[in-house]
Structure 1
């Protein structure tokens, strides 16, 4: 028997991009939404939907905001246990904290423990989809996908490939990277709501031979996403230049090996050369903004306004655990702060769009997630816009929607997350 649920509240959906005109014009507001068989069935007035769906269970959320679940476009779930590790620049931080932790993921039990913990924590923060790097171990991929499959969750992930400039126990080879990635792709890609991403970590940890192998695999499976890192820090760029002296720029180390394309996800992308910006835009590739990570590790300030004006495809991400929070609310706040430092005040509608539709677009999944519209998958978050005394006293003075929403973006945390629905099922086990 079909099970229908009506959620009443302030239902927010996007009819376009708030970066293309007046931000408010990109938003439609409704009184209720119907969830049926894992999909959004209808939007409209509360009276019309309750009368036309008399058998539906109804939850009235009053003045709470109902919107699509958050989409985190760049994470490292294996870094869950070492998030907020103190005080290093990128390369030292990798060697001191990240690589020792990632070596533990050859254990299927440990990988499953962290995958489960990560999905619990992020569900409690309202995140319903993420795109994750795993480790070089196939076990780390299997664990993440098994944990997500059990929840009916839409996720993207892939085996991280590294064959140089990494410690013993965290290096594979060009051949092993190709063979293991191909086997995992064939095992998991398209199973339920799971997608595989071909995943060279970044150019410094892959030989040209390995990058070539990853490019060949991507050419064979062009429908897959490919994720990596690009131009995060200036000293990283200098390192890339020394490792690839014939490359025109950092992006060229990927482009020359078949790793530039429309389904490419390039994390950080802070210090881009004009040629790189042109080529990324021409291909329709996605740039993934990771603001809490960029400030935590001292990487630099992402050029949101300039890149948007160029027509770049941009997603938003926590970059767990280089990022200092699992929360997409905190990530939106950091994106606002970074943009302010570059002279732009992002509108609340733009921030919410980046964390939902924008990130879904970057993953080429905006046809099924990232928005509340009929036919979309029913990944939904309910936000309490007065979740703490500090936020509530701002909320009560709000003259319009965006004054009511903005304090939750800037000061909200998991206490603002009233309910989370994944594929039409209410998430009941959440970690605070």
Structure 2
């Protein structure tokens, strides 16, 4: 095997492990429970919102040579700063990183040691995260070479046992909008948001490995993205099926974090608890390492180095430690309206970055992005109980994409308005090239 192919596999494994964290482990089985015999339709929506958008985000990041600001800046410098910071705070200490620790404790530790102190566990978890993240050049190799293979072996073992010896019968779907529910569950994993920023960490690591040419780094990153996508699709499909096999036992009110514990215990009895504990610990730790590194890299660059990478890693770990003690269910409830708010605008900017050669008018980008953000505000209001009836009347609303049609119309309007070229965006893009 050539050195380049080896690096593609290691980088792909690292990307898989950075993606596969708390949400990736708990959402697919729950989706299987509530979709029952229609689990394949729900799974399709999940893959679209998770793996599909993640691959687009990786492509956008690769085209920007890992510079996340270029992805956002065409909509305006201030907007880029606000949206970029919001995404990184969500991916970092507010939602995603704390959720990794909370999930590890509730699913991996409590089942083995019910009386273990959650605060002490958080301290241990984030101390390990800190030690493995403080040197950014080592992050990818640590995850891709050592942690991911162990994670995959444990996951595939449980899935294989569940396929060979199903726990129960697959029941009818407990919900109506199966496909849109799959999309919503896919959103919750945060992978599409994380892909933009995690790609920056991987590109920096590839440069440190000696890949000086931009085309080589992009080529490796895109192929690594395919490796990660294949792994994620196989594992997601297996976990969704496992959930479907217990759809006659559990309903929509089952705790998401306790569901996979119950499934594993039923399949592998007591040894299953140990295996699950290892899976959860590896999955969540690798994601925490990747996101902590990405968050620190972003804010260090955003402040022009005034905040040092090492200082930010420490700060992220401490803040995440505090939030993690809220518990998994509380963190998931907090995340829903926030994700509804920022996802549409982020998706628009990812698509515009990929097709930037065909979108020369900056007003197309600005009008569509701002409209997507406005629609996100309305969707977040819906999540918080503020009823906005007309959202349900929009095209694609039943699929969870009510924001697409207004955003498309706004882009058309922007096309007919003469643009003022975004000089800062052009300068940054030239530097990336």
TM superposition score normalised by structure 2: 0.23
Which has the higher relative contact order, 1 or 2, with Cα contacts under 8 A spaced 6 or more apart?
A: 2
Name the structure with the higher helix share.
2
TM superposition score normalised by structure 1: 0.23
Name the structure with the higher strand share.
1
